[in-house]
Amino acid sequence: MRPNILFVICDDHRGSAIGALGDAAVKTPVIDRLVARGTAFTNAHHEGSLCPAVCVPARSCLHTGANVFRSSSSTTVGDYQGLMRLPSDRPLLVESLRQHGYQTFVTGKWHNCRASLHRCFGAGESIFLGGMGDHHALPVYDHDPSGEYPKAAERLAEGFSTEVFCNSAIRFIEGYTGENPFFCYLAFTSPHDPRTPPEEFAALYPPAELPLPPNAWAEHPFDPGVLHIRDEELAGYPRDPGEVRQHLADYYGMISHHDAHLGRVLAALEQTGHGRNTVVVYTSDHGLAVGQHALLGKQNLYEHSTRVPLILAGPGVPAGRQQDQLVHGFDLHPTILELAGVPLPATVEARSLRQLWEGRASGRKYVGCLYEHRQRMIRDERWKLIRYYRREDRGSEALQLFDLASDPWETCNRAADPSVADELARLAAAMRQWMAEAGDPLADEPVLAAPAGAGPAA
């Protein structure tokens, strides 16, 4: 029997901000139970972005199973509208499921084009076609069979966005009586700002009681080229510890709120009997800094912003397992198709995670990530290299090399340390190869020698 699939994707939920995965400060009892009954990939990273709205390309990679330079209709940095359009010649994840008999339903954020939404879903309710907005008054659409979604059909959702989307998912689950399996796409706008958790959840996190990590600096050690974008202007600079704690409290409050309402959706699966044959997937488009490295947003390539939660639970997935192999978020594309018994399109570049939990393959030797034409990153299980480019008179030419085994908070830059010059050279070569294979136009730029001042950041 082919499984139903409940696919839950958040906006800005970093991979570490889950109680069961090591963050003692955040309360996520529902996601913790999902971790306990499924498999969590604790070293999953998004693929990168060519615009400040990192969620757009990250989701495009997931839907197409292709890298940043092949997952949308544009490869122009900052071309927001072009990057939202998914290519018509690449089968999309949900489109493939639909073509092979799945009944597909969407609620929540769809941050790609209307045409791709129409290709993927046969039903939907409370669909948000924007990037961010007031969680208490979000403009939404219900499913339009024509695929046009005219402005006149837009309505303001009544209630907090998380609750609205969960209510829609529950109505679909409770009303589903079809013989074919279903795919329910539940896309939270949480914990993206504006972060306004309901009081019950805000009260869980008195800001003064929240510990700050060792990389909660007042200033970044050099100009990374992103300090003047919207996300970084949500708080004063240099960063004030009290203000950072308030941001962190609001962030955790949003996560705990959507955790609680996800619990209602999972309860509906059990109460209707669908739970026994449903694979639940929980992930995010990207992470978020929230004060780490003196940054607030996700337009950077530190671990807090590239790592995403990636959890699967249900029939065919081992229970109680945490796997630390290097994987990408878009690896969910072939994983879901394999679990659903759907043939894999030839255009998919991602790798199935099922091979990892069954021991048929190992993780990636390297994972890379990028941001616009300003930053490139490559890492293996221990070492990580980030290159920064100066563009439009902003940013710095810089290299960072981190030993993640001894420095998981990325506080000590070893790029100028001669004792690890071989690691720097190895990763630089791997970065060039990854960029060339991805079709990255920066692949031909010469690799920097460690510039002056590239020593320890702390």
pLDDT in tens, the chain (458 residues): 999 999 999 999 999 999 999 999 999 999 999 999 999 999 999 999 999 999 999 999 999 999 999 999 888 898 878 888 999 999 999 999 999 999 999 999 999 999 999 999 999 999 999 888 999 999 999 999 999 999 999 999 999 999 999 999 999 999 999 999 999 999 999 999 999 999 999 999 999 999 999 999 999 999 999 999 999 999 999 999 999 999 999 999 999 999 999 999 999 999 999 999 999 999 999 999 999 999 999 999 999 999 999 999 999 999 999 999 999 999 999 999 999 999 999 999 999 999 999 999 999 999 999 999 999 999 999 999 999 998 887 888 999 999 999 999 999 999 999 999 999 999 999 999 999 999 999 998 876 655 544 444 44
- pTM of full prediction above 0.85: yes
Could you give the angle at which helices 55-64 and 332-340 cross, rounded to 10 degrees?
A: 40
Q: What is the pLDDT of residues 180-224, one digit of tens each?
A: 999 999 999 999 999 999 999 999 999 999 999 999 999 999 999
Distance CA 256, CA 28 (A): 6
Q: Which amino acid is at 246?
A: Q
Distance CA 376, CA 373 (A): 8
Sheet holding 398-403, edge to edge: 367-371, 375-379, 383-388, 398-403
Q: What is the pLDDT of residue 451?
A: 55
Distance CA 53, CA 69 (A): 16
Distance CA 152, CA 31 (A): 37
Q: How many CA atoms lie within 13 A of 145 on its CB side?
A: 0
Residue 221 · residue 126 · CB < 8 Å:
no
Distance CA 134, CA 128 (A): 12
Distance CA 390, CA 401 (A): 18
From residue 437, alpha-carbon distances to 7, 225, 311, 444 in Å are: 30, 26, 28, 12
Among 14, 1, 6, residue whose Cα is nearest residue 309: 14
Distance CA 191, CA 20 (A): 18
Residue 413 · residue 401 · CB < 8 Å:
yes
**How is 427-440 classified by DSSP, letter by letter?**
HHHHHHHHHHHHT-
DSSP 320: S
Distance CA 60, CA 55 (A): 8
Question: 121 — alpha (psi -120 to 50), left (phi > 0) or beta?
Answer: beta
DSSP helix/strand/coil, 363: coil
DSSP 67: -
